[in-house]
Amino acid sequence: MRLGKKLVFGFGLILLLVVFLAALVVVKLYGMDGDAAHIAADLANKSRISSIHSTVKDNAISSMEVLLNSDASINAKIIAQIDERNKANSALLDSLSSDLAASEEDVKLLTEMKKHRGLYVAGLDRVVKMVKEGKREEATYVAGEEMIPMLVPFLKAVKAMEDHQSVKLEASTRQIKETTTAIRNTTIAVGAVVLLLGLFSAFSIVRSITGPLNRMRATITQVQESGDFTRRITLSSTDEVGETAKAFDELMASLQQTFVKVLDDVDRVAVSAQSLSASSGHLADSTSNQSESTKVMAAAIEEMAASSNLVSNSAREALDISRQSGELSTEGGKIIEQAAKEMLRIADAVQRTSLTIEEVGQHSNQISSVVKVIKEIAGQTNLLALNAAI
Protein backbone atom coordinates (compact mmCIF):
# COMPACT_ATOMS: atom_id res chain seq x y z
CA MET A 1 0.00 0.00 0.00
CA ARG A 2 1.31 3.45 -0.89
CA LEU A 3 2.20 5.86 1.91
CA GLY A 4 -0.52 8.26 0.83
CA LYS A 5 -3.11 5.49 0.98
CA LYS A 6 -1.89 4.45 4.42
CA LEU A 7 -2.24 7.99 5.69
CA VAL A 8 -5.67 8.38 4.09
CA PHE A 9 -6.76 5.06 5.58
CA GLY A 10 -5.54 5.99 9.07
CA PHE A 11 -7.04 9.46 9.09
CA GLY A 12 -10.19 8.19 7.38
CA LEU A 13 -10.66 5.59 10.11
CA ILE A 14 -10.20 8.21 12.81
CA LEU A 15 -12.59 10.58 11.01
CA LEU A 16 -15.14 7.78 10.66
CA LEU A 17 -14.97 7.06 14.38
CA VAL A 18 -15.31 10.75 15.17
CA VAL A 19 -18.37 10.96 12.91
CA PHE A 20 -19.79 7.87 14.60
CA LEU A 21 -19.23 9.46 18.00
CA ALA A 22 -20.85 12.69 16.85
CA ALA A 23 -23.83 10.78 15.40
CA LEU A 24 -24.22 8.82 18.62
CA VAL A 25 -24.13 12.00 20.67
CA VAL A 26 -26.69 13.62 18.35
CA VAL A 27 -28.99 10.61 18.71
CA LYS A 28 -28.66 10.72 22.48
CA LEU A 29 -29.25 14.46 22.50
CA TYR A 30 -32.29 13.96 20.31
CA GLY A 31 -33.55 11.48 22.89
CA MET A 32 -32.82 14.04 25.57
CA ASP A 33 -34.94 16.52 23.66
CA GLY A 34 -37.86 14.12 24.09
CA ASP A 35 -37.04 13.69 27.75
CA ALA A 36 -36.80 17.44 28.16
CA ALA A 37 -40.19 17.82 26.46
CA HIS A 38 -41.64 15.24 28.85
CA ILE A 39 -40.13 17.09 31.79
CA ALA A 40 -41.56 20.38 30.52
CA ALA A 41 -44.98 18.74 30.08
CA ASP A 42 -44.78 17.13 33.51
CA LEU A 43 -43.78 20.44 35.06
CA ALA A 44 -46.68 22.19 33.32
CA ASN A 45 -49.10 19.49 34.44
CA LYS A 46 -47.81 19.61 37.97
CA SER A 47 -48.08 23.39 37.96
CA ARG A 48 -51.70 23.21 36.78
CA ILE A 49 -52.55 20.57 39.36
CA SER A 50 -50.87 22.69 42.03
CA SER A 51 -52.96 25.67 40.85
CA ILE A 52 -56.12 23.55 41.14
CA HIS A 53 -55.06 22.43 44.58
CA SER A 54 -54.42 26.02 45.65
CA THR A 55 -57.71 27.37 44.22
CA VAL A 56 -59.67 24.55 45.88
CA LYS A 57 -58.19 25.51 49.20
CA ASP A 58 -58.91 29.17 48.49
CA ASN A 59 -62.52 28.37 47.62
CA ALA A 60 -62.89 26.34 50.81
CA ILE A 61 -61.65 29.31 52.80
CA SER A 62 -63.84 31.71 50.84
CA SER A 63 -66.90 29.53 51.41
CA MET A 64 -66.24 29.62 55.13
CA GLU A 65 -65.94 33.43 54.92
CA VAL A 66 -69.28 33.60 53.15
CA LEU A 67 -70.90 31.58 55.91
CA LEU A 68 -69.37 33.71 58.60
CA ASN A 69 -69.83 37.13 56.95
CA SER A 70 -73.21 38.80 57.01
CA ASP A 71 -72.34 41.70 54.74
CA ALA A 72 -74.02 41.06 51.40
CA SER A 73 -71.68 43.22 49.36
CA ILE A 74 -68.60 41.49 50.71
CA ASN A 75 -70.17 38.08 50.19
CA ALA A 76 -70.98 39.05 46.60
CA LYS A 77 -67.30 39.78 45.95
CA ILE A 78 -66.27 36.53 47.63
CA ILE A 79 -68.80 34.54 45.63
CA ALA A 80 -67.53 36.18 42.41
CA GLN A 81 -63.97 35.09 43.29
CA ILE A 82 -65.25 31.57 43.97
CA ASP A 83 -66.92 31.49 40.55
CA GLU A 84 -63.75 32.73 38.81
CA ARG A 85 -61.66 30.07 40.55
CA ASN A 86 -64.15 27.37 39.57
CA LYS A 87 -64.02 28.49 35.94
CA ALA A 88 -60.21 28.54 36.04
CA ASN A 89 -60.16 25.06 37.55
CA SER A 90 -62.53 23.83 34.83
CA ALA A 91 -60.18 25.20 32.13
CA LEU A 92 -57.17 23.61 33.82
CA LEU A 93 -58.96 20.26 34.05
CA ASP A 94 -59.88 20.45 30.35
CA SER A 95 -56.24 21.10 29.38
CA LEU A 96 -55.11 18.26 31.64
CA SER A 97 -57.60 15.95 30.01
CA SER A 98 -56.12 16.62 26.56
CA ASP A 99 -52.49 16.44 27.71
CA LEU A 100 -52.84 13.34 29.88
CA ALA A 101 -55.03 11.32 27.54
CA ALA A 102 -52.09 9.11 26.49
CA SER A 103 -51.41 7.82 30.01
CA GLU A 104 -53.88 5.33 31.46
CA GLU A 105 -52.78 6.06 35.00
CA ASP A 106 -53.15 9.81 34.47
CA VAL A 107 -56.60 9.34 32.98
CA LYS A 108 -57.67 7.20 35.93
CA LEU A 109 -56.45 9.72 38.50
CA LEU A 110 -57.90 12.62 36.55
CA THR A 111 -61.29 10.89 36.33
CA GLU A 112 -61.22 10.29 40.09
CA MET A 113 -60.32 13.91 40.68
CA LYS A 114 -63.13 15.18 38.41
CA LYS A 115 -65.66 12.97 40.17
CA HIS A 116 -64.81 14.28 43.62
CA ARG A 117 -64.58 17.84 42.29
CA GLY A 118 -68.05 17.54 40.83
CA LEU A 119 -69.47 16.49 44.20
CA TYR A 120 -67.55 19.20 45.97
CA VAL A 121 -68.52 21.93 43.51
CA ALA A 122 -72.17 20.82 43.69
CA GLY A 123 -72.13 21.21 47.48
CA LEU A 124 -70.32 24.55 47.18
CA ASP A 125 -72.87 25.82 44.68
CA ARG A 126 -75.73 24.87 47.04
CA VAL A 127 -74.05 26.70 49.90
CA VAL A 128 -73.50 29.81 47.79
CA LYS A 129 -77.09 29.71 46.53
CA MET A 130 -78.48 29.42 50.04
CA VAL A 131 -76.31 32.29 51.20
CA LYS A 132 -77.60 34.41 48.36
CA GLU A 133 -81.17 33.49 49.38
CA GLY A 134 -80.44 34.38 52.99
CA LYS A 135 -80.68 30.82 54.21
CA ARG A 136 -77.53 31.02 56.24
CA GLU A 137 -78.40 28.27 58.73
CA GLU A 138 -79.32 25.82 55.97
CA ALA A 139 -76.18 26.82 54.09
CA THR A 140 -74.11 26.11 57.18
CA TYR A 141 -75.74 22.73 57.54
CA VAL A 142 -75.17 21.81 53.86
CA ALA A 143 -71.57 22.98 54.14
CA GLY A 144 -71.02 20.75 57.14
CA GLU A 145 -72.88 17.75 55.72
CA GLU A 146 -72.16 17.87 51.99
CA MET A 147 -69.51 20.38 50.98
CA ILE A 148 -66.80 19.76 53.58
CA PRO A 149 -67.11 15.94 53.46
CA MET A 150 -66.68 16.14 49.63
CA LEU A 151 -63.71 18.50 49.96
CA VAL A 152 -61.50 15.95 51.69
CA PRO A 153 -61.65 13.21 48.97
CA PHE A 154 -61.31 15.91 46.30
CA LEU A 155 -58.15 17.23 47.94
CA LYS A 156 -56.87 13.65 48.27
CA ALA A 157 -57.49 13.06 44.54
CA VAL A 158 -55.71 16.33 43.70
CA LYS A 159 -52.82 15.34 45.98
CA ALA A 160 -52.64 11.88 44.35
CA MET A 161 -52.55 13.47 40.92
CA GLU A 162 -49.90 15.93 42.05
CA ASP A 163 -47.79 13.17 43.58
CA HIS A 164 -48.12 11.11 40.42
CA GLN A 165 -46.91 14.05 38.34
CA SER A 166 -44.00 14.49 40.76
CA VAL A 167 -43.10 10.83 40.30
CA LYS A 168 -43.26 11.25 36.53
CA LEU A 169 -41.16 14.39 36.77
CA GLU A 170 -38.57 12.60 38.87
CA ALA A 171 -38.56 9.70 36.42
CA SER A 172 -38.03 12.09 33.49
CA THR A 173 -35.30 13.91 35.39
CA ARG A 174 -33.67 10.60 36.25
CA GLN A 175 -33.95 9.56 32.62
CA ILE A 176 -32.20 12.74 31.54
CA LYS A 177 -29.50 12.15 34.11
CA GLU A 178 -29.09 8.57 32.90
CA THR A 179 -29.02 9.74 29.31
CA THR A 180 -26.45 12.40 30.19
CA THR A 181 -24.37 9.81 32.03
CA ALA A 182 -24.71 7.41 29.09
CA ILE A 183 -23.65 10.14 26.66
CA ARG A 184 -20.69 10.98 28.87
CA ASN A 185 -19.68 7.34 29.27
CA THR A 186 -20.23 6.64 25.59
CA THR A 187 -18.25 9.73 24.64
CA ILE A 188 -15.42 8.70 26.93
CA ALA A 189 -15.48 5.10 25.66
CA VAL A 190 -15.69 6.01 21.99
CA GLY A 191 -13.15 8.79 22.52
CA ALA A 192 -10.81 6.28 24.13
CA VAL A 193 -11.38 3.89 21.23
CA VAL A 194 -10.75 6.70 18.74
CA LEU A 195 -7.61 7.66 20.64
CA LEU A 196 -6.38 4.06 20.79
CA LEU A 197 -7.16 3.45 17.13
CA GLY A 198 -5.54 6.74 16.23
CA LEU A 199 -2.44 5.82 18.21
CA PHE A 200 -2.46 2.33 16.71
CA SER A 201 -2.89 3.70 13.19
CA ALA A 202 -0.18 6.28 13.74
CA PHE A 203 2.14 3.64 15.23
CA SER A 204 1.41 1.23 12.38
CA ILE A 205 1.97 3.89 9.73
CA VAL A 206 5.16 5.16 11.39
CA ARG A 207 6.42 1.61 11.86
CA SER A 208 5.63 0.71 8.25
CA ILE A 209 7.77 3.67 7.21
CA THR A 210 10.60 3.66 9.78
CA GLY A 211 11.01 -0.14 9.85
CA PRO A 212 11.98 -0.51 6.18
CA LEU A 213 14.02 2.70 6.39
CA ASN A 214 16.00 1.28 9.33
CA ARG A 215 16.58 -1.93 7.36
CA MET A 216 17.77 0.10 4.39
CA ARG A 217 20.10 2.14 6.61
CA ALA A 218 21.52 -1.03 8.22
CA THR A 219 22.10 -2.67 4.83
CA ILE A 220 23.76 0.44 3.39
CA THR A 221 25.98 0.71 6.49
CA GLN A 222 26.99 -2.96 6.15
CA VAL A 223 27.81 -2.47 2.47
CA GLN A 224 29.88 0.60 3.35
CA GLU A 225 31.79 -1.18 6.13
CA SER A 226 32.30 -4.59 4.50
CA GLY A 227 32.35 -3.70 0.80
CA ASP A 228 30.02 -6.68 0.20
CA PHE A 229 27.92 -5.72 -2.82
CA THR A 230 25.95 -8.99 -2.64
CA ARG A 231 23.79 -7.70 0.23
CA ARG A 232 20.17 -6.89 -0.59
CA ILE A 233 17.33 -5.21 1.32
CA THR A 234 14.51 -7.33 -0.22
CA LEU A 235 11.36 -5.53 0.97
CA SER A 236 7.93 -6.88 0.06
CA SER A 237 6.12 -3.56 0.39
CA THR A 238 4.93 -1.75 -2.72
CA ASP A 239 5.01 1.79 -1.33
CA GLU A 240 7.61 4.47 -1.96
CA VAL A 241 9.99 2.92 0.58
CA GLY A 242 9.67 -0.49 -1.11
CA GLU A 243 10.34 1.08 -4.50
CA THR A 244 13.42 2.83 -3.06
CA ALA A 245 14.67 -0.48 -1.62
CA LYS A 246 14.06 -2.18 -4.97
CA ALA A 247 16.01 0.56 -6.76
CA PHE A 248 18.86 0.15 -4.23
CA ASP A 249 18.93 -3.64 -4.83
CA GLU A 250 19.03 -3.06 -8.59
CA LEU A 251 21.87 -0.54 -8.10
CA MET A 252 23.82 -3.09 -6.02
CA ALA A 253 23.26 -5.76 -8.69
CA SER A 254 24.48 -3.37 -11.41
CA LEU A 255 27.54 -2.39 -9.36
CA GLN A 256 28.27 -6.05 -8.65
CA GLN A 257 28.14 -6.90 -12.37
CA THR A 258 30.33 -3.89 -13.15
CA PHE A 259 32.91 -4.89 -10.55
CA VAL A 260 32.91 -8.50 -11.79
CA LYS A 261 33.55 -7.25 -15.31
CA VAL A 262 36.31 -4.94 -14.07
CA LEU A 263 37.97 -7.83 -12.20
CA ASP A 264 37.79 -9.98 -15.33
CA ASP A 265 39.40 -7.17 -17.32
CA VAL A 266 42.08 -6.81 -14.65
CA ASP A 267 42.83 -10.54 -14.84
CA ARG A 268 43.12 -10.36 -18.61
CA VAL A 269 45.40 -7.33 -18.33
CA ALA A 270 47.58 -9.19 -15.82
CA VAL A 271 47.83 -12.19 -18.14
CA SER A 272 48.67 -9.87 -21.06
CA ALA A 273 51.30 -8.13 -18.93
CA GLN A 274 52.88 -11.44 -18.02
CA SER A 275 52.91 -12.44 -21.68
CA LEU A 276 54.39 -9.08 -22.64
CA SER A 277 57.02 -9.44 -19.94
CA ALA A 278 57.97 -12.89 -21.25
CA SER A 279 58.08 -11.53 -24.83
CA SER A 280 60.28 -8.66 -23.66
CA GLY A 281 62.63 -11.16 -22.02
CA HIS A 282 62.84 -13.18 -25.20
CA LEU A 283 63.40 -10.01 -27.20
CA ALA A 284 66.16 -8.96 -24.83
CA ASP A 285 67.82 -12.39 -25.17
CA SER A 286 67.53 -12.23 -28.96
CA THR A 287 69.01 -8.73 -28.98
CA SER A 288 71.87 -9.89 -26.78
CA ASN A 289 72.53 -12.85 -29.08
CA GLN A 290 72.40 -10.58 -32.11
CA SER A 291 74.85 -8.19 -30.46
CA GLU A 292 77.29 -11.04 -29.81
CA SER A 293 76.92 -12.21 -33.43
CA THR A 294 77.54 -8.68 -34.61
CA LYS A 295 80.67 -8.45 -32.51
CA VAL A 296 81.93 -11.73 -34.00
CA MET A 297 81.12 -10.52 -37.51
CA ALA A 298 82.93 -7.23 -36.85
CA ALA A 299 86.02 -9.14 -35.73
CA ALA A 300 85.84 -11.28 -38.86
CA ILE A 301 85.46 -8.19 -41.03
CA GLU A 302 88.43 -6.58 -39.30
CA GLU A 303 90.46 -9.68 -40.11
CA MET A 304 89.20 -9.49 -43.70
CA ALA A 305 90.18 -5.80 -43.83
CA ALA A 306 93.66 -6.70 -42.63
CA SER A 307 93.84 -9.43 -45.26
CA SER A 308 92.65 -6.93 -47.86
CA ASN A 309 95.36 -4.50 -46.80
CA LEU A 310 97.93 -7.24 -47.25
CA VAL A 311 96.44 -8.03 -50.62
CA SER A 312 96.49 -4.34 -51.51
CA ASN A 313 100.14 -4.12 -50.53
CA SER A 314 100.87 -7.21 -52.57
CA ALA A 315 98.99 -5.69 -55.47
CA ARG A 316 100.99 -2.54 -55.16
CA GLU A 317 104.16 -4.58 -55.15
CA ALA A 318 102.84 -6.48 -58.14
CA LEU A 319 102.06 -3.17 -59.78
CA ASP A 320 105.61 -2.04 -59.15
CA ILE A 321 106.84 -5.30 -60.53
CA SER A 322 104.53 -4.91 -63.52
CA ARG A 323 105.75 -1.34 -63.99
CA GLN A 324 109.27 -2.54 -63.73
CA SER A 325 108.43 -5.21 -66.18
CA GLY A 326 106.31 -2.81 -68.24
CA GLU A 327 107.68 -4.31 -71.14
CA LEU A 328 105.81 -7.45 -70.43
CA SER A 329 103.10 -8.35 -72.69
CA THR A 330 100.09 -6.09 -73.02
CA GLU A 331 97.86 -8.81 -71.64
CA GLY A 332 99.87 -8.96 -68.40
CA GLY A 333 99.51 -5.16 -68.00
CA LYS A 334 95.78 -5.39 -68.45
CA ILE A 335 95.58 -8.13 -65.84
CA ILE A 336 97.56 -6.09 -63.32
CA GLU A 337 95.47 -2.97 -64.03
CA GLN A 338 92.34 -5.01 -63.55
CA ALA A 339 93.73 -6.39 -60.28
CA ALA A 340 94.35 -2.81 -59.04
CA LYS A 341 90.77 -1.87 -59.81
CA GLU A 342 89.57 -4.91 -57.96
CA MET A 343 91.67 -3.91 -54.95
CA LEU A 344 90.05 -0.46 -54.93
CA ARG A 345 86.66 -2.05 -55.11
CA ILE A 346 87.55 -4.27 -52.15
CA ALA A 347 88.67 -1.23 -50.13
CA ASP A 348 85.41 0.51 -50.94
CA ALA A 349 83.49 -2.63 -50.09
CA VAL A 350 85.40 -2.98 -46.81
CA GLN A 351 84.56 0.66 -45.94
CA ARG A 352 80.90 0.14 -46.79
CA THR A 353 80.91 -3.06 -44.78
CA SER A 354 82.31 -1.19 -41.76
CA LEU A 355 79.54 1.41 -42.05
CA THR A 356 76.98 -1.32 -42.46
CA ILE A 357 78.25 -3.05 -39.31
CA GLU A 358 77.84 0.20 -37.38
CA GLU A 359 74.26 0.45 -38.61
CA VAL A 360 73.72 -3.18 -37.65
CA GLY A 361 74.93 -2.34 -34.14
CA GLN A 362 72.41 0.52 -34.04
CA HIS A 363 69.54 -1.26 -35.77
CA SER A 364 69.26 -4.91 -34.81
CA ASN A 365 66.38 -5.37 -37.18
CA GLN A 366 68.73 -4.81 -40.20
CA ILE A 367 71.01 -7.71 -39.32
CA SER A 368 69.71 -9.85 -42.17
CA SER A 369 70.69 -7.12 -44.67
CA VAL A 370 74.16 -6.97 -43.16
CA VAL A 371 74.46 -10.74 -43.53
CA LYS A 372 73.62 -10.43 -47.21
CA VAL A 373 76.27 -7.69 -47.58
CA ILE A 374 78.76 -9.90 -45.76
CA LYS A 375 77.93 -12.72 -48.16
CA GLU A 376 78.54 -10.37 -51.07
CA ILE A 377 81.83 -9.25 -49.49
CA ALA A 378 82.81 -12.89 -49.01
CA GLY A 379 82.04 -13.54 -52.67
CA GLN A 380 84.07 -10.55 -53.69
CA THR A 381 86.89 -11.63 -51.35
CA ASN A 382 86.87 -15.03 -52.99
CA LEU A 383 86.98 -13.28 -56.36
CA LEU A 384 89.83 -11.12 -55.09
CA ALA A 385 91.67 -14.16 -53.86
CA LEU A 386 91.11 -15.74 -57.24
CA ASN A 387 92.36 -12.62 -59.00
CA ALA A 388 95.36 -12.43 -56.65
CA ALA A 389 96.15 -16.01 -57.44
CA ILE A 390 95.91 -15.12 -61.09
Q: How many CA atoms lie within 13 A of 255 on its CB side?
A: 13
Residue 368 has pLDDT above 80, yes or no: no
157-198, pLDDT tens digit by residue? 989 988 988 888 888 888 888 888 888 888 888 788 878 877
Sequence length of the chain is 390
Amino acid letter, residue 28: K
CB 154 within 8 A of CB 120: yes
Distance of alpha carbon 103 from alpha carbon 168, whole angstroms: 11
Confidence of residue 333 (pLDDT cuts 50, 70, 90): low
pLDDT score of 371: 64
Q: How many CA atoms lie within 13 A of 145 on its CB side?
A: 7
Q: Which residue has the higher pLDDT, 127 or 346?
A: 127
Give residues with Cβ within 8 angstroms of 9, minimum separation 6.
1, 201
In this predicted structure, which of 57-66, 106-115, 330-339 has the lowest mean pLDDT? Answer: 330-339
Distance of alpha carbon 165 from alpha carbon 334, whole angstroms: 179
Alpha-carbon torsion (97, 53, 149, 64), positive or negative: negative
Q: Which residue has the higher pLDDT, 292 or 251?
A: 251
* Range with top average pLDDT, 91-100, 224-233, 274-283, 309-318: 91-100
Confidence of residue 293 (pLDDT cuts 50, 70, 90): low
Mean pLDDT value across residues 323-350? 63
Mean pLDDT for all residues in the chain: 76
**Number of neighbouring beta carbons within 10 Å of residue 313:** 11
pLDDT score of 363: 61
Confidence of residue 226 (pLDDT cuts 50, 70, 90): confident
**Number of neighbouring beta carbons within 10 Å of residue 5:** 11
CB 175 within 8 A of CB 42: no
Contacts by 292-295 with C-beta closer than 8 Å and gap 24+? 293/367, 294/357, 294/360, 294/361, 294/367, 294/370
Confidence of residue 265 (pLDDT cuts 50, 70, 90): confident
Alpha-carbon torsion (350, 317, 382, 327), positive or negative: positive
In this predicted structure, which of 84-93, 256-265, 329-338 has the lowest mean pLDDT? Answer: 329-338
In this predicted structure, which of 12-16, 23-27, 144-148, 275-279 has the lowest mean pLDDT? Answer: 275-279
CB 131 within 8 A of CB 79: yes
Residue 3 has pLDDT above 70, yes or no: no
pLDDT score of 108: 92
pLDDT score of 128: 87
